[in-house]
Amino acid sequence: MADMLFLAASLLLVLTTAGLFVLWRRGRDADRLLTIQLLGSGCIAVLLLLAVAMGEASGLDVVLLLALLAALAACGYRAAIGQAGRSRP
């Protein structure tokens, strides 16, 4: 069972990395931040799988924190855009 979960986690990691690599080479900031969101949700899923596969109960706390921080990244980006819009559009 654990082997299957490890396999699923590594598959997901490869998928996320591929998306990250392709989209990182595009120019716009919004797309880059979207790849960070993809990385965020992908890592949430990977860590969930790993926490269950390794039987680490504390892994779930890390996932909870990551879910919170992934959301804050986009809010920070939006706040930065808002400031730039006021001073230097």
Partner 1 sequence: MNMLADIFTGLFVFSGILFFAAGALGLVRLPDTLSRIHALAKADNLGLALIVIGLLPQAPDVLAGVKMVAIWLLAQLASGAVAQVMAEAAQMENMAGEDLQHGGGVLHPAGSGVVQTDTRGDLRA
Q: How many Cβ atoms from other residues are within 10 Å of residue 38's Cβ?
A: 16
- Residue 62: CB minimum distance to partner 1, A: 10
Using CB under 8 A, list all residues that contact partner 1: 1, 4-5, 8, 11-12, 15-16, 18-19, 22-23, 28-31, 33-35, 37-38, 41-42, 44-45, 48-49, 52, 55, 57, 60-61, 63-64, 67-68, 70-71, 74-75, 77-78, 81-82, 85-89
Q: Which residue has the tokens 């990691």?
A: 13
Q: Are 64 and 53 in contact (CB under 8 A)?
A: no
